[in-house]
Amino acid sequence: MLPRFLTALLLGGAALVLLTFGWPQLFGLQNSWVVAHAVSLRGLGVAVAAAGLVVLLLLTPIRPLRRLAGSLGVLLLLFALGNAAVLATRGIGVAAAAATETTTASARATDDVTVLSWNTLGDEPGAAAIARLALDQGADIVTLPETTEATGEKVAALMREGGRPMWVHTIAFDQISKARSTTLLISPDLGDYSVSNPGGSGPPGNTNVLPTVVATPIDGVGPTIIAVHAVAPINWEMSNWRSDLDWLADQCSGGNVIMAGDFNATVDHMSGRESAAEAVLGRCRDSALATGSGAVGTWPTFLPPLLGSPIDHVLATPNWQTDSMNVIQSSDAAGSDHRPIVATLSPR
């Protein structure tokens, strides 16, 4: 049996680690390596804690380990309950599904905007699947990280044939890796747009490693539309990842912005970058949080949604309200490791 001092030290250390993984914002560690990864998978964390709790319960009959196993079990239980509470507060999709079911085509106002976003893992689903989904959802804006200009043009052609023409804007940092292309489709009904950051990588003009498309209305009327792709927080890209989130927060400091795409970040990672009430990044609010689906994972598709990470977002400034938001699970076998998301926004 461990001496009381070592037992107390072990339990104290375990409690500190679990608290850090459960709410890293308390220590300002939400953007730190390892911690950032742990907090991005809260649902999986609950499952792992539950499995650990079962193992510890099996050890409690062993007298020398009973007290230690019981104390560790209590800590794991508190960790699991805390994460479950956060997930429940952010929403597991029930409210979002109800809102989608009650939204009818006739109820949709002409000035509403439907935004579809899908990281296609380098064009993997194919133009036909992307166009079909966009047409089915009635998308006015389609943001496609890891999608080349050629595929974007094919999608636009198919959507035009389906009665919904789109303008195509693409930024590619190179022609070697499809991941370094981002494509944005915008309905002509929203007006004429131009890309205000056409080349180069890194701030002040773009995200660092993977391109983000910023489109502004030529006549100055209408929202700035941003197709986002921030780099993933892998060990050697942590600095670029944090810089990307800072830059994206700056892009959402205006008065009329809609941004969507693969942020490679949950709202935990965005903490500290908000500059307005109810905002998560700059002045932008999260559509998933607004509709009760903020805990539904968009990546990876091989995990159940509530065990995955919600890193794809539709964000908008306060002049827009979210009428519906949905994480689309029917495309899990389409070839991408991300689930598409769709949100309908209306002006306040």
Q: What pLDDT does residue 341 have?
A: 98
For residues 55 and 107, membership in a common domain is answered with: no
Q: What pLDDT does residue 97 have?
A: 54
For residues 163 and 175, membership in a common domain is answered with: yes
For residues 20 and 148, membership in a common domain is answered with: no
Nearest CA to 343 out of 154, 108, 182 is that of 108
pTM: 0.93
Q: Which of 59, 90, 121 is the last residue of a domain?
A: 90
For residues 317 and 278, membership in a common domain is answered with: yes
For residues 26 and 163, membership in a common domain is answered with: no
For residues 276 and 205, membership in a common domain is answered with: yes
Q: Looking at residue 297, which CATH number applies to its domain? A: 3.60.10.10
Nearest CA to 110 out of 140, 89, 66 is that of 140
Per-residue pLDDT of the chain (348 residues; tens, 9 = 90+): 557 888 889 999 999 999 999 999 999 999 999 999 999 999 999 999 999 999 999 988 888 888 899 999 999 999 999 999 999 999 998 655 555 544 444 445 678 999 999 999 999 999 999 999 999 999 999 999 999 999 999 999 999 999 999 999 999 999 999 999 999 999 999 999 999 998 777 888 999 999 999 999 999 999 999 999 999 999 999 999 999 999 999 999 989 999 999 999 999 999 999 999 999 999 999 999 999 999 999 999 999 999 999 999 999 999 999 999 999 999 999 999 999 999 999 999
| Burial label, 303 (beta-carbon count in 10 A; 0-12, 13-18, 19+) | middle
For residues 110 and 77, membership in a common domain is answered with: no
Number of domains comprising the chain: 2
**Count of Cβ atoms closer than 10 Å to residue 222 Cβ:** 18
Q: Which of 90, 110, 145 is the last residue of a domain?
A: 90
For residues 258 and 320, membership in a common domain is answered with: yes
Q: What pLDDT does residue 50 have?
A: 97
For residues 77 and 156, membership in a common domain is answered with: no
For residues 19 and 133, membership in a common domain is answered with: no
Q: Which domain holds residue 158?
A: 94-347
SS3 category, 50: helix
Q: What pLDDT does residue 203 have?
A: 87
Sign of CA dihedral 244, 246, 252, 253: negative
Buried b (16+ CB within 10 A) or exposed e, 109-142: eeebbbbbbbbbbbbbbebebbbbbbbebebbbb
Q: What pLDDT does residue 104 have?
A: 41
Q: Which of 29, 55, 90 is the last residue of a domain?
A: 90
For residues 143 and 30, membership in a common domain is answered with: no
For residues 224 and 305, membership in a common domain is answered with: yes
Q: What pLDDT does residue 93 have?
A: 85
